C-alpha cells in the first residue's frame, strides 16, 4: 500500500490519536520491508508528524518517544515486528524479511539478557555479603 504524498501531507499527528497514528504507521511500514529498505528515524518523524525542524529538542524527543511506544506495541500485540538498527551512524527502522534481517536484533537482545543476568548475580552477591555492615 503506497501512501500518496498528498495524504501524508494532510494527515499529521501532532495532536495525536493513537489508533489513527498506528494505522498510518502500519501502512507506512508496508513500504519498508527488509533491511535494505529501511526508513531513517528523521524520515519517519517527518512522514508521521510533518516538518519538525522548528520544534525544540524536547518536542522532538516527545514525538520520537510516541513512535517508539507504537513500535513496541506492534512487537507485542501484532505480527508487525519493526526492527531498530544503525546504518552509517543513523537510526533506521524496517520490518524484517529474512532471518538475516533479524540477526543483529537477536544479538542485541542476547547481550541485554547476558547483562541483566550479570547484574542479578552482582545484586545477589551484594545482599549476601552485606557490604553496608563493613562500611
How far apart (Å, rounded) are the C-alpha atoms in residues 52 and 61? 11
Kindly tell me if the per-residue pLDDT of 15 is higher than 80. no
CB 16 within 8 A of CB 66: yes
Closest alpha carbon to 41 in 81, 99, 88, 101: 88
Mean pLDDT score across all residues of the chain: 85
pLDDT score of 37: 95
Residues 49-68, mean pLDDT to the nearest whole number = 85
Query: HSE-up of 57 (CA within 13 Å, CB side)?
Result: 0
User: Using H for helix, E for strand and C for coil, what is the string for 45-110?
Assistant: HHHHHCCCCCCCHHHHHHHHHHHHHHHHHHHHHCCCCCEEEEECCEEEEEECCCHHHHHHHHHHHH
pTM above threshold 0.75: no
What 8-state DSSP symbol labels residue 14? T
CB 20 within 8 A of CB 7: no
Which residue's C-alpha cell is 522548528? Answer: 54
| Residue 16 pLDDT grade (very low, low, confident, very high; cuts 50, 70, 90) | low
How far apart (Å, rounded) are the C-alpha atoms in residues 130 and 110? 30
Amino acid at each position: 500500500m503506497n501512501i500518496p504524498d498528498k495524504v501524508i501531507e494532510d494527515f499529521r499527528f501532532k495532536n495525536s490519536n493513537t489508533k489513527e497514528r498506528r494505522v498510518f504507521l502500519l501502512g507506512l511500514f508496508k513500504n519498508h520491508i527488509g533491511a535494505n529498505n529501511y526508513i531513517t528515524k528523521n524520515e519517519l518523524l517527518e512522514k508521521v508528524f510533518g516538518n519538525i525542524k522548528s520544534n525544540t529538542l524536547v518536542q522532538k524527543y516527545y514525538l520520537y518517544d510516541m513512535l517508539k511506544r507504537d513500535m513496541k506495541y506492534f512487537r507485542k500485540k501484532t505480527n508487525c515486528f519493526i526492527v531498530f538498527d544503525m546504518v552509517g551512524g543513523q537510526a533506521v527502522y524496517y520490518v524484517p524479511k529474512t532471518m538475516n534481517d533479524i540477526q543483529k536484533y537477536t544479538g542485541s537482545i542476547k547481550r541485554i539478557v547476558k547483562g541483566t543476568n550479570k547484574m542479578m548475580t552482582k545484586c545477589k552477591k551484594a545482599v549476601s555479603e552485606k557490604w553496608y555492615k563493613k562500611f
